[in-house]
Structure 1
Amino acid sequence: MNVLNLLRYLFPVFLVLIIGNQSLQAQKSQARPNVLVILVDDLGYGDLSSYGATDLKSPHIDALLKRGMKFNNFYANCPVCSPTRAALLTGRYQDMVGVPGVIRTHPQNSWGYLVPSAVTLADVFQEAGYHTGIVGKWHLGLEAPNVPNQRGFDFFRGFLGDMMDDYYHHRRHDVNYMRFNEQQVDPEGHATDLFTEWTCDFLKQQAQTEQPFFLYLAYNAPHTPIQPPADWLEKVKQREAGIDPARAKLVALIEHLDAGIGEVVKTLDETGLSENTLVIFSSDNGGQLSVGANNGDLRDGKQSMYEGGLKVPTGIVWKGHISPNVETDFMAMSMDLFPTVCEAAGIKVPAGLDSVSILPTLEGKAQTPLRKHWFFRRREGGNRYGGKTIEAVRSGDWKLLQNSPFAPLELYNLKADPLEKENLAEKNRKKFNELSTLLRAEIQRYGSVPWQKPLK
């Protein structure tokens, strides 16, 4: 066969291969994105290098945020754990799904029960054909039906409860809440390392399949107990001369966490998953001041309705869709992540949510404020709160809050007074009355939803 005939013979083969490859690449580019939500626990607004920390190094989280959009005005739904998690996973204000406070082991001190009718992100993505997984802290129920595998997650490897009493022994009140799906397990190692390892294993497995995934990675760190590995603590002490011992432990715990997230991102890159995975990083509330957290210049911290309890470091990355190294002052909150990832994945957003998608902002488009009024609330017991509530409402630049049921409501103008130093409650009664009326009406709306386990 001469060269000309050979070329005539091979041309159709080459054409098929070229067309086939173009079709495959087109399919890949149009494929639904994977979604990875990384939620850390009690990370203060000022406790990353990229958010102003000078005695702490967080190169991996900082690098991740540089891949996409960093938020300067992102808020947790609540200044404590369970309510924010409920809001994030349902797209509703936490009271509207039965989780106004912290869910705990003992019924007399547990302040929430995720209502059966609440639709979770896992439910929605599972129905859309995604493989759904959670690694880490659940904190939305300790028994059926409020366990991950019965709330839309195909895969669960982590901790059912709230805080761990020890990062190495993984118990709470001497109860082992570690699970692999619904089986009790007792692994060895620091919880942060375990959650990182399990996440990397999950990603490597998913890289071998064509099925897209939704993964919710919820670290316990840097929640108390502040228990970093000894070598990480020693490294901080050697580097930061004269650092307060309590602060050194927290810095080490956060830096250890940062390294774990670095391993997760490395796995995304090495498997090629980062090419089409939308990654969200956020915290469930502000940092706990009593253990050395840094919330920047913001007032107060975890458990508080002041800005330090609510404003959290947040970033969203999606290669090819979100421009890298961008910052925004656009305001959003935890529950708004629900419709955002649904829209990004081309999934119909369920009706009746309290949340609004921020996808236009992520894509660099102009977007009007998500809502006129923003509500924050926590129900709790104990000596500090007397079984009552603390709450806040923000409308434009104005914020009305009650940080203790035993204290009057306070009014601040956050544009003029971002550090909440001047209480204007007496000076502007018109605005005070306007916001207190809004807050009262919202609390009445919440009253329609039960938050305790149903009686049998």
Structure 2
Amino acid sequence: MKSKLLMIPISCLGMLIIFSAVSFGQVQTAGKASGRKPNIIYIMADDLGYGDIGFNGQMKIKTPNVDKMAKEGIIFNQHYSGTAVCGPSRAALMTGVNTAHGHIRELSAWTASGKPIDLLDEEVTVAEELKRAGYKTGIIGKWGLEEGAGTGAPNVQGYDYFYGYKTHMEAHHFYPEYIWKNGEKIVLDKNVTAEKKGTYSNDDFTTKAIGFIKENKTKPFFLYLPYTVPHNEITVPEDSKKPYQNLGWATRPMTPGHYYHDPEGNTAYAGMVARLDRYVGEILKTLKEQGLDNNTLVIFTSDNGPGYDNGFFNSNGPFRGKKLTLYEGGIRMPFAARWPGKVKPGTTTEHPSAFWDFLPTACEIAGIKPSKKIDGISYLPTLLGNKLKQPAHDFLYWEINETQGPIQAVRMGKWKGILAYNKPFELYDLTADLAETTNVADKNQDIAKKIKDTMIFTRTENSEFPLTKRNSNYGKTPD
């Protein structure tokens, strides 16, 4: 695995070492009542925007369960995805390594060789780490990190149980004719993909997730629950659309093609987000019924910025950009965490964090250290309300390279630098210009140079993902 530990000031390293004992002691004390380590459930939406959720200002779509979860826990206002598209973003989450160093930096459609790319055997996932600490591990939903190279299967990457889509292309349809259970291909005889008949896959994922929780209620478990709503295709069962019909909304006709969209997009999209919210409610209800509520950390977020919205829902909130861009709208995510008795209800934080911070956070909760060098820093101090004990990143890095050519971005304190293919360097002061409307690079040449230099020195080369403009290996296959 090509990885490089972020440069952290000595003072922060000392703080981290001191806090490791303090925070883990608090977690141990909090878990004594149950006599076991805390459970961890990580719920991830697919292409859900920062502004699609009520707690971030959504006005049209109702998300009462996620909003209640956020009210009972903590909201991270500055949490970032791995990048602005699914595969590499999920890889960063799983490995604690960002796209400056990761093996997977883009979807397989964009490899230089044209070959598929999977997680490698030598990469260590959060599931593998937690298994060392005695956790039962499961993933239910969209994996997207086993594209055909032969090394990325969830069951060889630390997961005891897998039910869902292996590849991102399979996950494009909500009524699949087959699904994967561990290494077995399960044919779904009653599903007709093009006619959208049978079982809506994400309903099935929720049922399986509830079963996983019940089956493992006597042991510590980690459940990774990456749903595929509200990613294209834009379709949802009728009962979820009904509350949004006859409201006088503008309509958005949808044309079926690769995706078998419903005829009208806006009510379908709202229904998809509302159905996701219902799933969250069902998971939280199950935890209470099984007596696991107080010993389970539940995180809710999304993999990258919105792909559907054209402004009607204000899915990217106050930010510029969406999926496939490195403006804030493409990478700043809704994020809420709930852990009764440990996370103080009704709190918010401005601590900048990212997907690669989850692995060290989970490790610290489990009482272990990451087994390889990573880019992440645990945000457990912030979860537990110890703001002054929270180490900070010197900078955060992202890259993406699809149709528009390579783009790099670095956030360094209040500054955000973006270097896009054949375009002038962009610099934004996020404290004064959250929407990234005014490029101030010419007026701040020293910080612009520092960020450009950081883009160079932090990045390790990857032969499959050079910073050159390329065509998709799949032609015009959708992301």
TM-score range, shorter chain: 0.7 to 0.9
Cα gap change, 1:106/1:411 in structure 2, threshold over 3 Å: closer, same or farther? closer
Contact 1:105 1:142 in 2 (8 A): no
Contact 2:357 2:377 in 1 (8 A): yes
Query: Given residue 180 of structure 2, which amino acid in structure 1 is its aligned partner?
Result: R
Query: Given residue 229 of structure 1, which amino acid in structure 2 is its aligned partner?
Result: P
Q: How does 1:295-306 map to 2 (within 5 A)?
A: 295-306=316-327
Map of 2:422 onto structure 1: 406
CA shift, 1:264, in A, is 1.2
Query: Given residue 186 of structure 2, which amino acid in structure 1 is its aligned partner?
Result: V
Map of 1:22 onto structure 2: none
1:248 aligns with 2:258: no
Q: How does 1:136-155 map to 2 (within 5 A)?
A: 136-143=141-148, 144-155=150-161
1:395 aligns with 2:412: yes
Cα gap change, 1:57/1:290 in structure 2, threshold over 3 Å: closer, same or farther? closer
CA shift, 1:258, in A, is 0.9
Map of 2:283 onto structure 1: 264
1:166 aligns with 2:173: yes
What do residues 150-198 of structure 1 show as CA deviations (whole Å, max 9, x unaligned)? 111010011111143421135xxxxx5x201100013341111011111
TM-score by length of 2: 0.81
Range with bigger deviation, 84-93 or 427-436: 427-436
Q: How does 1:123-202 map to 2 (within 5 A)?
A: 123-143=128-148, 144-163=150-169, 164-169=171-176, 176=178, 178-187=179-188, 188-202=198-212
Query: Given residue 153 of structure 2, which amino acid in structure 1 is its aligned partner?
Result: V
| Counterpart selection for 1:375 from 377, 393, 397 | 397
What do residues 418-447 of structure 1 show as CA deviations (whole Å, max 9, x unaligned)? 11111112232222222111112223xx20
CA shift, 1:218, in A, is 0.6
Q: How does 1:34-73 map to 2 (within 5 A)?
A: 34-73=39-78
Give the CA RMSD over aligned residues: 2.3
CA shift, 1:312, in A, is 0.5
Contact 1:338 1:357 in 2 (8 A): yes
Contact 1:398 1:414 in 2 (8 A): yes
Q: How does 1:259-408 map to 2 (within 5 A)?
A: 259-290=278-309, 294-365=315-386, 366-368=388-390, 370-380=392-402, 384-385=403-404, 388-402=405-419, 404-408=420-424
Cα distance between partner residues in 2 of 1:44 and 1:91 = 22
CA shift, 1:112, in A, is 4.1
Cα distance between partner residues in 1 of 2:109 and 2:185 = 18
Larger helix proportion, structure 1 or 2?
1
Cα gap change, 1:111/1:420 in structure 2, threshold over 3 Å: closer, same or farther? farther
CA shift, 1:109, in A, is 5.9
Cα gap change, 1:272/1:370 in structure 2, threshold over 3 Å: closer, same or farther? same
- SS state of the match for residue 46, structure 1? helix
CA shift, 1:346, in A, is 1.4
Tell me, which stretches of 5 or more residues in structure 2 are unaligned?
A: 1-29, 189-197, 253-264, 467-479
Larger radius of gyration: 1
CA shift, 1:122, in A, is 0.9
CA shift, 1:97, in A, is 3.0
1:230 aligns with 2:238: yes
Cα distance between partner residues in 2 of 1:422 and 1:451 = 30
Contact 2:145 2:152 in 1 (8 A): yes
Cα distance between partner residues in 1 of 2:304 and 2:115 = 19
| Counterpart selection for 1:219 from 212, 227, 241 | 227
Contact 1:67 1:324 in 2 (8 A): yes
Query: Given residue 231 of structure 1, which amino acid in structure 2 is its aligned partner?
Result: D
Q: How many residues align?
A: 411
Cα gap change, 1:414/1:201 in structure 2, threshold over 3 Å: closer, same or farther? same
What do residues 204-245 of structure 1 show as CA deviations (whole Å, max 9, x unaligned)? 1112xx32111100101111111111222232113x322443
Cα distance between partner residues in 1 of 2:410 and 2:99 = 14
Cα gap change, 1:95/1:186 in structure 2, threshold over 3 Å: closer, same or farther? farther
Query: Given residue 372 of structure 1, which amino acid in structure 2 is its aligned partner?
Result: D
Cα distance between partner residues in 2 of 1:419 and 1:123 = 38
Range with bigger deviation, 211-220 or 26-35: 26-35
Range with bigger deviation, 429-438 or 332-341: 429-438
Map of 2:21 onto structure 1: none
Cα gap change, 1:296/1:448 in structure 2, threshold over 3 Å: closer, same or farther? closer
Map of 1:439 onto structure 2: 455
